[in-house]
Amino acid sequence: MDTMLEARLQTQQRNTQNSQETSLWSSGFGMKLEAVTPFLGKYRPFVGRCCQTCTPKSWESLFHRSIMDLGFCNVVLVKEENTRFRGWLVRRLCYFLWSLEQRIPPCQDAPQKIMESTRLQNVISGRVPGGAGEGQVPGLVKKEVQRILGHIQAPIHPFLLRLFSWALLRFLNCVFLNVQLHKGQMKMVHKASQAQGLPLVLLSTHKSLLDGILLPFVLLSQGLGVLRVVWDSRTCSPTLRALLKKLGGLFLPPEANLTLDSPEGVLARAVVHAAMEQLLVSRQPLLIFLEEHPGAQGPRLSALGQTWLGLVVQAVQVGVIPDAMLVPVAITYDLVPDAPCDVYHALAPLGLWTGALAVLRSLRGWGHSPRVCVRVHLAQPFSLQEYTINARSCWGSRQTLEQLLQPIVLGQCTIVPDTEKEQEWTPATGPLLAFKEEDQLLVRRLSRHVLNASVTSSAVMSTAIMATLLLFKHQKGVFLSQLLGEFSWLTEETLLRGFDVGFSGQLRCLVQHTLSLLRAHVALLRVHQGDLLVVPRPGPGLTHLARLSAELLPAFLSEAVGACAVRGLLAGRVPPEGPWELQGIELLSQNELYRQILLLLHLLPQDLLLLQPCQSSYCYCQEVLDRLIQCGLLVAEETPGSRPACDTGRQRLSAKLLWKPSGDFTDSDSDNFEEAEGRYFRLSQQSRCPDFFLFLCRLLSPLLKAFVQAATFLHRGQLPDTESGYTEQLLQFLQATAQEEGSFECADRNLAISAIWTFRDLGVLQQMPSPAGPMLYLSPTFTSRENQEKLEQFIWQFICS
């Protein structure tokens, strides 16, 4: 990668540019070359281990320590050595020969096996109440079944798949600098598939419309076989759907979303179940996207992805297959290739000609714009059966956000209830509605658990690190010499927290490559002594940087939550603009810290936190406190007359400490809340702490500021209104406020939607049915300006200006 980056940079330097600013991009980095190792020597974290609480057997048996020593491979780099042939002609035709050698197993009798399914035969014969076969001719029902099955899938066309793989390989080499995959992760998935003899179900994040084509290509090239990919019918035109089905695509028929008592819906759901059962029995690998497609406005978790995952769960429960191996998958880009300037536009179905024009535009821009890097990550596989057995024991009581927070916001009580928050923004649709309520809950929590594993194992790209530095530390500009050091610092901090990065190479080349990718949102100004000043462009460019910086937030989320909680605890004691030494005088009790962390956890959306369902909020509070101590922001304070915290010689094991649930084991010694009452902390007085504390607080500031502005807008908005209409009102207000105050990182449609949905859960807004559809009303409790100001103050306490 280093050689390719340097070659690319040399090519850019040879291109003559007319404008003065453009010349700075190619020749302005005339500084002394300094080789810096940003990976702490040879250490690189191996991420992606499965949950030890829910799947302890998989955690131990499906991991081999030797795979950590295997390196990375560039999937799109196909040479003569990747084929069985040698010679000068092979070197020129290696892409074509490679595509011919890919193993594509035949599956010609799949439609017949689906028709013979017991579930489907019962529906056709009319033995299922409400089924489509009641009172109808079986021949007509069979034709309807074949029509529905044709909408779901089609036989894979080997020649078309090989031709498409060859064309895609050439296209990817033109668009991407490299597509990196850890060979150890691939070996781990291969061993799990071969040793267990079970079907693989890959559950992935969704960053680009290209994911559904890129991931099957990567796994086909690594010998995993033809991947069956679940596509959303709303994003594809009929012509494109027909092509994707011949390449292994799966689509949910629209009849499957009909009501439970609809005969057409019963028949469609039976066909979908039968198709899924046949696919799993034949051990064909399946790819399901757990996130909504790019550009979708709404919840992060995909309702379609949960539906298909529910079909897999039910197939295991009824005994169609003994088990299935679930593999969390993550894919990250330097820049998402198909993201327009406003990714939240109304997404129209992608047609075949539209896709071809997008390919031509990408090829036309090849050589004129820097190519991006891609990283594919495969986490450790785990057993679905094992998770199902162990996960049910982790379910506890839950309350709505209105029950948990509204009395505290209004000052009616101060005690935080000892229960978890129930917040589900993804509606249950399609075949998932036919499941039992307990099974629906299992699928929702499994989806969140796997998405948490995928996100935490995602590689952090250089653009996310650069955007975070420019947005939250140097929004007014930074010299390039200083930026080099801070880029290396933030990279090491990310690695120390167990997150991997998707880049390598010399520091200077990395920074130059990253700035060239962000050149539309960053300006370079030449100053004295040959140094450069890097300045983020004001305006919508800051919104784009905020979206990129969100990819780094999971690595620092615990510390960011803790820092904002500390800010909320100090808000009523010390002025925000007061000196750091004055804030360090205040004693912070452990119980007060727990309370503030819990309040912030309840306020933040689940789609942002993505907490594991097996982890309680109090357990997460202990983890947050541990992180603040480990990073040096909090220091234990010994009160006069109390036993030192490090004195364990006189401690006796009480009955409460002899046995604990597995979820209560942490690195902290603060498990007993009664003994924690007399434990206090202070903010550290080290010189680096003020800047780091402010940096952590600012990571959550775009969302929290959007919440504050949404609370301010309550008395200005026009209610009642539909959800989409009120979202437009709030977005216009956020944009107008951004023009006045410069807070463009808050002017985001998804932040506006999160604020509206959080206020709806909190009881600030109420949703009621109407002939025109669901309408939003202002709750009677928050019609008074006094309660609206209380809501603003409650949110504002967590913001560090």
Lowest mean pLDDT among 432-436, 464-468, 471-475: 432-436
Task: Supply the pLDDT for residue 581.
Answer: 64
- Mean pLDDT over 230-244 rounds to 89
Task: Supply the pLDDT for residue 24.
Answer: 42
The candidate with the shortest Cα–Cα distance to 767, out of 755, 758, 779, 751, is: 779
Q: Measured between alpha carbons, how far is 250 from 43 in angstroms, rounded to an integer?
A: 41
- Mean pLDDT over 348-371 rounds to 64
Q: What angle do CA 755, 761, 765 make, to 5 degrees?
A: 70
Lowest mean pLDDT among 27-31, 118-122, 353-357, 792-796: 27-31
| 352 band by pLDDT with thresholds 50, 70 and 90 | low
Helix (H) or strand (E) run with residue 636 in it: strand 634-637
Residue 669 has pLDDT above 60, yes or no: no
pTM of the model: 0.87
Task: Supply the pLDDT for residue 673.
Answer: 46
Backbone angles phi, psi at 325, to 5 degrees: -95, 120
Q: For the chain, how many residues are written?
A: 801
- pLDDT, tens digit (0-9, with 9 covering 90-100), for 284-298: 999 999 998 877 777
Just give the CATH number of 459-548: 3.30.420.610
Helices assigned H by DSSP within 365-479: 384-391, 401-409, 437-456, 462-472
Residues 6 or more apart whose CB falls under 8 angstroms from that of 509 comprise 2, 5, 6, 9
Q: Measured between alpha carbons, how far is 161 from 82 in angstroms, rounded to an integer?
A: 19
Task: Supply the pLDDT for residue 35.
Answer: 36
The label of the residue with tokens 């949404």 reads: 710
Domain map (residue ranges) of the chain: 56-117+144-339+349-392, 459-548, 701-797
Residue 723 has pLDDT above 50, yes or no: yes
Number of Cβ within a 10 Å radius of residue 640: 4
Residue 620 has pLDDT above 80, yes or no: yes
Intrachain domains 459-548 and 701-797 with the same fold: no
681 close to 634: Cβ distance less than 8 angstroms: yes
- pLDDT, tens digit (0-9, with 9 covering 90-100), for 168-177: 888 888 888 8
Task: Supply the pLDDT for residue 668.
Answer: 43
Q: Mean of the per-residue pLDDT values for the chain? A: 82
Q: Measured between alpha carbons, how far is 337 from 209 in angstroms, rounded to an integer?
A: 9
Task: Supply the pLDDT for residue 677.
Answer: 58
Q: Measured between alpha carbons, how far is 695 from 465 in angstroms, rounded to an integer?
A: 13
Into which CATH architecture does domain 701-797 fall? Orthogonal Bundle (1.10)
**669 three-class SS:** coil
The label of the residue with tokens 């033809």 reads: 226
Task: Supply the pLDDT for residue 98.
Answer: 73
Helix (H) or strand (E) run with residue 378 in it: strand 372-378
Task: Supply the pLDDT for residue 36.
Answer: 37
Residue 640 has pLDDT above 80, yes or no: no
- Mean pLDDT over 37-52 rounds to 66
Backbone angles phi, psi at 378, to 5 degrees: -110, 115
Q: What angle do CA 174, 178, 180 make, to 5 degrees?
A: 150
Task: Supply the pLDDT for residue 366.
Answer: 56
Q: Measured between alpha carbons, how far is 415 from 404 in angstroms, rounded to an integer?
A: 10
- pLDDT, tens digit (0-9, with 9 covering 90-100), for 527-555: 877 788 999 998 888 999 999 999 999 99
710 close to 759: Cβ distance less than 8 angstroms: yes
